[in-house]
Amino acid sequence: MKVSVLKLCVAAAALAGAITAAQAQELKIGYVNGERVLREAAPARAAQAKLEAEFSKREKELNEQLTRLKATADKFEKEAPTLSEAERGRRQRELVESDRDMQRKRRELNEDLNQRKNEETASVLERTNKVIKQIFDSEKYDLIVQDVVFAGPRVDITDKVIKALNASSPK
């Protein structure tokens, strides 16, 4: 009986030692604010500038066309009482057709812009994930998360990720 009590005490001591060792080995956790990365990192800003350059001409043309359409509609409103019934009907149909054309072009522009924005965002996120993986491996993190409710500054590695992205982006 003394032997089994002795074995039990040794096992309990070993278990206590293992628990203490596990508590001493702290988890290394990091948090990355993805929205901030997409707002502040050089590759994200470059992608935004690229999109603005790519779509600014179409946006400008559409706004000019809208201005002309409004001017035409105002002119029609002023002249409508003096126009013949046939002429009023014809010009009204032209205005409705022009308005539909404008709406269609606006939808197409928005769809194209959203598609390109999604492509550029995916590219930036892919680069960001590679940088996060490099930080994870090199600094021996146990866990890095992006979507959290709350995170303290001690675990926030967003600045580190942004700096690494900026360093890896072409100047």
Question: Rounded to 5 degrees, what are φ and ψ at 29?
Answer: -120, 140
CA 127 to chain centre: 13
169: CB partners within 8 A, 6+ apart? 41, 42, 43, 46
User: DSSP string of 77-139?
Assistant: HHHGGGS-HHHHHHHHHHHHHHHHHHHHHHHHHHHHHHHHHHHHHHHHHHHHHHHHHHHHHHT
Q: How far apart are CA 64 and CA 60, in angstroms?
A: 6
What pLDDT digit, counting tens, does each position of 53-71 carry? 999 999 999 999 999 999 9
- Residue boundaries of the structural domains of the chain: 2-168
**Reduced to 3 states, what is the DSSP secondary structure of residue 43?**
helix
Specify whether the CB–CB gap between 155 and 30 falls below 8 A. yes
Characterize 92-115 residue by residue with b for buried, 16 or more Cβ atoms within 10 angstroms of its Cβ, and e for exposed. Answer: eeeeeebeeeeeeeeeeeeeebee
pTM value?
0.71
Q: How far is CA 171 from CA 48, 120, 126, in A?
A: 15, 18, 19
Q: What is the pLDDT of residue 4?
A: 57
pLDDT at 149: 87
- Per-residue pLDDT, averaged over 118-124, amounts to 96
Q: Does the domain formed by 2-168 have CATH 3.30.910.20?
A: yes
pLDDT in tens, 3-13: 454 454 444 44
Measured distance CA(17)–CA(29) in Å, rounded: 24
Lowest-confidence segment of 8-22, 118-132, 144-158 by average pLDDT: 8-22
Nearest to 144 by CA among 127, 128, 121: 128
Count CB atoms within 10 A of the CB of residue 169.
Answer: 15
- CB of 46 closer than 8 Å to CB of 123: no
